[in-house]
């Protein structure tokens, strides 16, 4: 046994002397490897920058649809926060959480606004873009006397259905349709989403998903 150990030690010693021992090797980084983290950070910055810009545009659109003071002030607050990200030259690549919090804050402000409108039963005013028209139809004509494609009703919605000025989800709401109202479909210019309709004397656009009859 001792003889075997001595032979092993002699072999290792000879390899060391002759330079045959294996040394650790380190490969230099390639250009692509060095650039990868920078490209990843830049991509994340660009993505978050696009989110910030989209939120700012969303705030502008929301403010066009209402003049309510409380809602406008909350939107102004969110806008100032988003704008400060650029003014302070913050690293947007590391601000996922802050951007998400602003988005959730805007959604909560919208929910609160809708609840206030619903509870106070706001009546429309010709000079106010935020108010919904009154749902009374005493001075309106329930039946549509002009040409229309077909007549239908709502498909059991949970609440009143918004009638919009234009075939766009960001368009101003001109009337909140009662769930039991008769709907006269006049046209469907954007066939996959909105119908032009007449409801209780009001003409506008609503999503076909609210209707029992689609075509």
**pLDDT given for residue 28 in this prediction:** 77
The list of the chain residues with pLDDT below 70 reads 1-26, 120-142, 189-192
**pLDDT given for residue 72 in this prediction:** 85
Per-residue pLDDT of 93-139, as tens digits, reads 888 889 988 888 898 888 888 887 777 654 444 433 444 444 444 44
- All structural domains of the chain with their residue ranges: 37-120, 150-210
**pLDDT given for residue 124 in this prediction:** 43
Alpha carbon distances (Å) from 176 to 11, 72, 120, 181: 94, 22, 14, 10
151 - beta bridge partners?
184
Q: How far apart are CA 151 and CA 131, in angstroms?
A: 28
pTM (whole model) above 0.85? no
CB-CB contact of 156 with 166 (8 Å):
no
Tokens for 165, please give them. 């000025």
**pLDDT given for residue 144 in this prediction:** 80
Beta-strand runs (E) in 55-156: 150-153
* CATH class for the domain made up of 150-210: mainly beta
């Amino acid at each position: 046994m001792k003889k075997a150990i001595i032979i092993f030690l002699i072999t290792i010693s000879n390899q060391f002397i002759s330079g045959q021992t294996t040394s650790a090797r380190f490969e230099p980084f390639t250009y692509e490897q060095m650039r990868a983290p920078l490209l990843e950070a830049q991509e994340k910055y660009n993505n978050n920058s696009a989110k910030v810009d989209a939120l700012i545009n969303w705030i502008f659109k929301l403010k066009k649809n209402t003049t309510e003071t409380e809602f406008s002030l909350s939107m102004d607050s969110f806008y100032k926060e988003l704008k400060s990200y650029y003014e302070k030259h913050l690293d947007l690549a590391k601000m996922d959480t802050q951007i998400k919090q602003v988005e959730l804050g805007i959604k909560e402000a919208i929910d609160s606004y809708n609840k206030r409108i619903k509870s106070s039963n706001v009546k429309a005013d010709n000079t106010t873009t935020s108010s919904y028209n009154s749902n009374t139809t005493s001075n309106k004509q329930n039946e549509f006397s002009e040409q229309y494609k077909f007549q239908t009703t709502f498909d059991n919605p949970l609440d009143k259905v918004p009638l919009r000025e234009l075939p766009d989800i960001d368009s101003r709401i001109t009337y909140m349709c009662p769930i039991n109202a008769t709907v006269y479909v006049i046209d469907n210019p954007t066939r996959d989403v909105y119908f032009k309709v007449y409801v209780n004397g009001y003409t506008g656009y609503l999503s076909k998903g609210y209707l029992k009859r689609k075509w």
